[in-house]
Structure 1
Amino acid sequence: MSVQTLSAKRRAVVEAAAQVFVREGYVGTSVDVIAAEAGVSKQTIYNYYGDKENLFLTVIETMLEPAAARFLEILDQVLAESDELAAGLTRLGREWVELLSHQELAALRRLIVGEATRYPQLLRAWQNAGPGLAQPKLTGHLARLHEEGVLDVPDPARAASQLTSLLVGELQTLSLFGAVPLTTARVEETVSGAVEVFLRAYAVKNPS
């Protein structure tokens, strides 16, 4: 459910909750503070979401949905034309980094990673709402390119994981998961290098 489809009161609660969770951390967040910032009663929040955990899960789903939808749209666009694969993968990398660098999403992700040991269900919710949708889609495209003879990808799922690591893994580490801005030149250098390595590894080998 995207934030646009929520009622005005529910939208106010989710937006306030996102800000408070990021600012105070999951454990440090009080439903009273969220209610005050959203301009609703504490009981209204409990009526809507039951408890703090369900509210946080709603925040994850609501914030990730538009980003995930945008990523899947880009994925379909750039991998539809196999004759421009290098350019398509390069665009995918740029767009992917931009989505992951979105300030609120990056802050939420850092919070979830920090709480993952004590609250693994939060990390699972993040994975299901984001990576859990993206990786199967990417795997499917790579499997199709293998079947069409464009790439030699005997294990599309592994290749999808490797492509993800190449395109965004290093940049996520360098940026401390979005906390430190990266220069355009650094992003371009990393993405271009990632695409070159991936295509070299999975190029169709000419029979000798």
Structure 2
Amino acid sequence: MDSAGWAYAVTVPRAIADVQTPGRRRRSEGKKAAILDAAETLFITEGYERTSVDAVAARAQVSKRTVYDHFGDKETVFLRVLERVSDALVSTVRAAIDEELTVGRDLREALTAFGHRIVNQTFPSSDYVAFRRLVSQQRSVPRLPETVRDRPERMLEDRFAGLAATGEIRAPDPRLAARHFTALTISLALEMVADQRQQAEAAEAAELSAIITDGVDAFLRAYR
């Protein structure tokens, strides 16, 4: 057999072995999801440093080798969990922008509804608040790239650019306007929720509502 024949004889079985059947692919994806679910719970309850790959594997009911095969190391597992939390926030923000900040709606009403929707749909999930606190308090915790973290703000920037183009707000710099709006409303509400959860207290809905309403009024005084 010539060298080409040997190459064929060697490589074909390997290629066949590497092909994943639909059933095998589903099982693989199921294991990945189980690992991320387990890791998310452990990172929230135990923190980043105290969570081990062994603990993640045990909770996900897979082998430690399986965790490494899918993700490589604990840092990558954490970043993939952060991406899931971030993706959920992006979906919420996108829907809120499209459905609340609509053309022709009273601007104060629209901005207030938008702020309330983000607070009511995002903050009740302990995941977002817990991971934000975890990342902000521990320097050793891996962080997503800024381009990923800033996706919600960039979407709001785009909508504010549209509002500026139609004369509804005066915003020569839509990105700065988006940052100011976020700082006056959502960020303040988030800080209150995070602080109160840390003290095992429940954030009052009336307090959150007041933060959003007052923040919207302050924003409009500056940008109208």
Residue of structure 2 equivalent to 1:134: 152
Is 1:124 aligned to 2:144, yes or no?
yes
Distance 1:149 1:85 in 2: 11
Which of 1 and 2 has higher RCO (CA within 8 Å, sep 6+)?
1
Task: Give identity over the alignment, percent.
Answer: 30
Letter in 2 for 1:190: I
Distance 1:177-1:61 versus aligned 2 partners, 3 A rule: farther
Moved over 3 A (4+): none
Q: Which runs of 5+ in 1 are unaligned?
A: 1-5, 204-208
- RMSD across aligned positions (CA): 1.8
Higher alpha-carbon deviation: 71-80 or 174-183: 174-183
Equivalences, count: 193
> Who wins on radius of gyration, i.e. which is larger?
2
Is 1:71 aligned to 2:89, yes or no?
no
Cα drift, residue 177 of structure 1: 5.3
Q: Which runs of 5+ in 2 are unaligned?
A: 1-27
2:134 to 95, 111, 115: 111
**Is the Cα contact below 8 Å between 2:189 and 2:208 reproduced in 1?**
yes
Cα drift, residue 171 of structure 1: 1.9
**Is the Cα contact below 8 Å between 1:139 and 1:157 reproduced in 2?**
yes
Cα drift, residue 66 of structure 1: 2.1
Distance 2:161 2:59 in 1: 48
Is 1:169 aligned to 2:187, yes or no?
yes
Is 1:18 aligned to 2:40, yes or no?
yes
Residue of structure 2 equivalent to 1:32: 54
Cα drift, residue 24 of structure 1: 1.8
Distance 1:156 1:193 in 2: 21
Residue of structure 2 equivalent to 1:48: 70
Distance 2:160 2:118 in 1: 17
Is 1:9 aligned to 2:31, yes or no?
yes
Distance 1:114 1:190 in 2: 24
Residue of structure 2 equivalent to 1:183: 204
1:165-192 per-residue CA deviation (whole Å, 9 max, x = no partner) reads: 1112222222235724321111111111
1:149 to 128, 142, 167: 167
TM-score (norm 1): 0.85
Is 1:80 aligned to 2:129, yes or no?
no
- Determine helix, strand or coil for the equivalent of 2:144: helix
Cα drift, residue 64 of structure 1: 2.3
Distance 1:187-1:60 versus aligned 2 partners, 3 A rule: same
Distance 1:169 1:109 in 2: 11
- Determine helix, strand or coil for the equivalent of 1:7: helix
Cα drift, residue 128 of structure 1: 4.2
Distance 2:124 2:133 in 1: 11
Letter in 1 for 2:123: L
TM-score (norm 2): 0.79
1:83-133 per-residue CA deviation (whole Å, 9 max, x = no partner) reads: 321111111111122213411221122111122x234xx2334x544x411
Distance 2:112 2:166 in 1: 21
Distance 2:208 2:43 in 1: 29
